[in-house]
Amino acid sequence: MWFRKGRKLKTACAMRKIEATVQKQDLLCIEAAAGPTGFVVFGASGDLAYRKLYPSLYELYCHDLMSHHFYLLGCGRSDLSDEAFRDSIKNNLQQTLDRPNQEKLHTFVRHFSFVSGDYADDSFYQKICQRMTVQEEQFKVNGSRLFYLSVPPFLYEDIAGRISRMKLHCPAVSGRMQNVRLVIEKPFGRDLDSAENLDRVLHHHFRESQIYRIDHYLGKETVQNILIFRFANSIFEPVWNRNYIEHVRITAAEQLGIEHRAGYYDQSGALRDMFQNHLLQMLALVAMEPPVSFEADRLRDEKAKLLRSVRPILPRDVPAQFVRGQYAAGAIDGRPVVGYRQEKGVPQDSATETFVAGKLFIDNWRWKGVPFYLQTGKRLRRKLTEILVTFKQVPHSMFLPGEWADMAANTLRFQIQPEEGMYLSLQAKRPGSKICMSTLEMAVDYQQVFGVKMPESYQRLLLDCMLGDQTLFSRHDSVIASWQLLTPVMEFWKNQQNLVMYPAGSDGSDTQNILAK
């Protein structure tokens, strides 16, 4: 059983939940609105742009966190007029958002335009340059330029190079120095060699301070809250180490299969798609040392240092530390679903993993000997992303004699999705019998406690891009450290057919229980 499964004490007392209240709202609340910005989105007619970028920008616009002096120039191969592009965005937002303000929506899309062309054609970038000049004058944008590459990763290098050669990156055509940023989506390479090559190419055209590598998990409220929880509360720091914590488990489980991404996913797999980026970034936030200040590079220094402290994985240790699986036919919520090899576009003999579980150790003073279990998979029983910190059991129980002496350990859980919240389990006496013990869970459901709809993670990340704040973005040294750690695993798996098949809709137990090792 790879999902969280707490031990049950032999007692009739059930777990009780204690709901949280906020005693002092906005003890410290700092938010800055972005200044004038010009967006140039490559791949502007793609799925990611419509699902994430445009709804998030609209929400920022409605909350006055985004200057009304902005423009968005969509770039792509699709043959779209400005009016057709605006209509498609307007229709999409009307369908996906909950009753958007029609007047604001109409004003918002007026700032959008589109230019068609081939990414490998220099004349395409000449047209982009001309349109940017017109848009900057029309919307009085004299601030930042943000180039967003919502395209397949193999296009990153070519587009970045052509932006540079056209002198769009800095300085501007007018000769005025600008704040120019390049935003790219994961994956940042598919192995160590390609990641290092991508860095070399990008750094040839842009400074590291201009490059924003988006990991949308880092924009989620609960993930951000790990920093506040750890470093704004003095009661947890003394026990946040090997002396009191038994193990940490980070889980990212999905009910969905590969959807329409067979071409990408079969070349990637769960290790590259989720483990190398999302899971290792969450591991870094949970385990890193306190930064000297809440500045982007000070925080990212500690994350990089933590990732370099993870014990290297030797090829001979891969079978003991990692397990991989692939989903077979099964059922999700009573609905039959096909296996991975029966998905459209997937080879019938594919050895691509859809499930990975790994056991890592951090060789530093704080965490020596504490196992960190990271696991992710598709087509599992339920959608769940969480970080579960399990503390050591009490050394001796004076309350529960004999066979009941194995008392449940305290746990602290950061739930990231589907609902965001924090949960701390404690043992307490119930009224009545002299000894009647219950597990109480102190629960903080973010949406319930704060009474607001949780913002989409892209809202936070896009606002930070406009503000020039790289705190929640991956830096090149952390990316390289992640690939260095996992390279032995990928090399070992190249010549191994050690896939474990698990039925869709299961909890992943058929992939073996490495957590018991």
- Residues noted as catalytic: 278
The Cα–Cα gap between 475 and 184 comes to: 12
CB 161 within 8 A of CB 186: no
Beta bridge partners of 247: 390
Backbone torsions φ then ψ of 390, nearest 5 degrees: -105, 120
CB 52 within 8 A of CB 89: no
Q: What length does the chain have?
A: 517
The Cα–Cα gap between 97 and 89 comes to: 12
DSSP assignment of 134-154 equals HHHHHTT--SEEEEEE-S-GG
Tokens 């229980």 belong to 513
**Buried b or exposed e, range 166-178, using 16+ CB within 10 angstroms:** eebbeebeeeeeb
The Cα–Cα gap between 158 and 439 comes to: 57
CA torsion sign for 215, 221, 224, 230 is negative
What is the separation, in whole angstroms, between the first and last Cα of the chain? 13
Residue 13 burial by Cβ neighbours in a 10 Å radius (0-12, 13-18, 19+)? middle
**Buried b or exposed e, range 432-447, using 16+ CB within 10 angstroms:** eeeeebbbbbebbbbe
411-417 and 384-391 beta bridge pairing: antiparallel
Map residue 444 onto helix, strand or coil. Answer: strand
CB 92 within 8 A of CB 496: no
Write out the two tokens for 138.
Answer: 């029309």
In order of 66, 145, 147, 462, the CA distances from 35 in angstroms are: 7, 11, 16, 13
